[in-house]
Structure 1
């Protein structure tokens, strides 16, 4: 570890002048600014004046505990999250988050969120998730010795549901519209710590997105500078916001002179973040169409993504399943198999067709093993083959 946490309080994103003690985590958003229509998240505030900037002299590597002064208190043991590779493809970069312990970016969030459950003395944790988040929560809870309940979508791939169950969590496949009411009941009656959202628009866990700041720290060290633009697959926009906040801290600390423009890349079948930005609202709820990018396809947005895009001078980009598949195929041909949702960043960059004065980073969030239909296709055995039968 590199010192104790400098986290000192929570602050409303609806009104930054409103502050709360650091504990307990406000898992249902800001109680003073939220309404029946819009829920505002809170964020963690740090005593930056006490930070030893030598923290950024280290090389990036696994275990986000290396950044502990700029994270909430880390009580959960590591699984070696972070330190993921930055790969160059055709003049841009891919930050490959599929190289995390459970093969997705969610491990950074869960190291922090499970730590909060331990700090608060919770008897267990509960999460509603279609895949990556549930698997990561189950893994980090198991590592920390905490019981976990995962409310999985009945439509999520069978392989992903098996992946979640492998860590020993109690996993229940329930209809999507029943997950949040059941989660709230588990929190209220059993005292379990919620690792996912409970509110009308997304607030999620207040500490969790802080883990994504470490992506910004790593990119800064891997590139030797701040990128000009970052394209992130976006559902609830916790990844987008956390990465953006990490870059704003680097500027605040005087380590970087600029911040990148942040681009949210959502499935065209939904796009609540794009809707909120277009309409100038804090967050939006939209009707969701069909998409196989189930990891980021959602009808409910949150205020974090709006802040990250708006304050960075970025844009919201809507991408189709076909555009994501094309990006997924091209990455696979260069040795990286991303989940369809994980290819949304590259698809968004290609769709925007914009030149930038500096490096461009697309975040790839998860392994292709998590996709719909993976492992279901049966391939025939072909006996008696000779070289003449092989494709050139």
Structure 2
């Protein structure tokens, strides 16, 4: 059930009275409420009174345009994003986002964010990413007919860089600290539309988290028009966490759901900026990052979105170790779900918490195991004269 976007304007998550027109997207955070130490993200406001309840009578399926009234304008044709399965895994449900076109949840964000680049008349798209986000942005830029520049860190997986190049993107490996100054230069001098963060704490693209709301809509329908008691989300910058939370708050405000779930941010124990912010009462935090193989959620910089989602939902921040992630990855693979190490943080976080809930529990799994470090580099011995014993032992 498609329809025109009902998006009205942008507003600050630091002060909801600070509002701005819908375009241009404010990709450097709220200009009124942000400071030199804290940057506040922008949210999108809709004309909810015009939302037809029949929008939620449809079956969940691919193509975010089915939810277009509750998204910013979509100017990029679909690649079949969304409509991912909900798989039972023991006593929880796993929302398997690896089934998206580029095998990660980032496709939901980039269908919306690259659409903003098209609507703004940008000559191209630029992204600072070492993994899922870069490949997804490159794919949707290609779908839109726009060039893309991907600024990747020097130690990112070669296979993921090849993935982004396959879509025609210009992929450049640079030192981690050089990525954001280069991104700003590309924006300022070439006019490219940024789909990565440009601020001291994370704000990201103001439209990006809107794409993630569709996970909440799908979960509502997949659970028989019910809301989970808890949702565990792998958390790097918390755009995914916040987007899912916002989707459920919209369902409640539209009178379709009586409650919202408790949201749990699941971060690597090597960092955990959202856990730090929640523990100290800060709107956002920056921490020192230790070593971890979970590179997709390994961030020193947090943002205010994740703090809001966890705090206002009555949830918690959960820190997980690499060994806990590896165990969850092995167990999921043993059930036919091979996920990236970072992508199983929700399952690992749920296990670490060991909490009983009054209702369904959902763990979002974000991306394919093909995205991990070292994948594809293994060499296995050739058995010259195989026997049956070689096959079964």
Give the CA deviation at 1:389: 3.5
Q: Give the aligned partner of residue 29 of structure 2.
A: 29
Describe the superposition over 1:211-268 as per-residue Cα deviations: whole angstroms up to 9, x where unpaired. 0000000000000100000000000000000000000000000000000000000000
Q: Give the aligned partner of residue 369 of structure 1.
A: 370
SS in 1 for 2:295: coil
Q: Give the aligned partner of residue 5 of structure 1.
A: 5
Give the CA deviation at 1:55: 0.2
CA distance in 2, matches of 1:353, 1:266: 16
Give the CA deviation at 1:391: 3.9
Is residue 259 of structure 2 the alignment partner of residue 280 of structure 1? no
Q: Give the aligned partner of residue 264 of structure 1.
A: 265
Describe the superposition over 1:250-288 as per-residue Cα deviations: whole angstroms up to 9, x where unpaired. 000000000000000000000001000000000000000
CA distance in 1, matches of 2:93, 2:115: 31
Q: Give the aligned partner of residue 157 of structure 1.
A: 157
CA distance in 2, matches of 1:371, 1:389: 29
Q: Give the aligned partner of residue 94 of structure 1.
A: 94
CA distance in 1, matches of 2:52, 2:385: 67
CA distance in 1, matches of 2:384, 2:361: 47
Is residue 355 of structure 2 the alignment partner of residue 354 of structure 1? yes
Give the CA deviation at 1:147: 0.7
CA distance in 2, matches of 1:244, 1:152: 29
SS in 2 for 1:39: coil
SS in 2 for 1:295: helix
CA distance in 1, matches of 2:222, 2:389: 46
Describe the superposition over 1:324-365 as per-residue Cα deviations: whole angstroms up to 9, x where unpaired. 000000000000000000010000000000000000000000
SS in 1 for 2:296: coil
Give the CA deviation at 1:91: 1.4
SS in 2 for 1:183: helix
Runs of 4+ in 1 over 6 A off after TM superposition: none
- TM-score norm. by structure 2 comes to 0.99
Q: Give the aligned partner of residue 176 of structure 2.
A: 176
Describe the superposition over 1:125-181 as per-residue Cα deviations: whole angstroms up to 9, x where unpaired. 100001100000000000110011000111111111111111001110011100001
Give the CA deviation at 1:388: 2.8
SS in 2 for 1:181: helix
Q: Give the aligned partner of residue 67 of structure 2.
A: 67
Q: Give the aligned partner of residue 246 of structure 2.
A: 245
CA distance in 2, matches of 1:109, 1:386: 50
> What are the residue-to-residue correspondences of 1:331-342 with 2, within 5 Å?
331-342=332-343
- Structure 1, 379-388 or 79-88: larger mean CA deviation: 379-388
CA distance in 2, matches of 1:97, 1:388: 38
SS in 1 for 2:297: coil
> What are the residue-to-residue correspondences of 1:1-392 with 2, within 5 Å?
2-224=2-224, 225-392=226-393
SS in 1 for 2:10: strand
Give the CA deviation at 1:387: 1.6
CA distance in 2, matches of 1:296, 1:48: 33
CA distance in 1, matches of 2:39, 2:18: 15
CA distance in 1, matches of 2:128, 2:223: 35
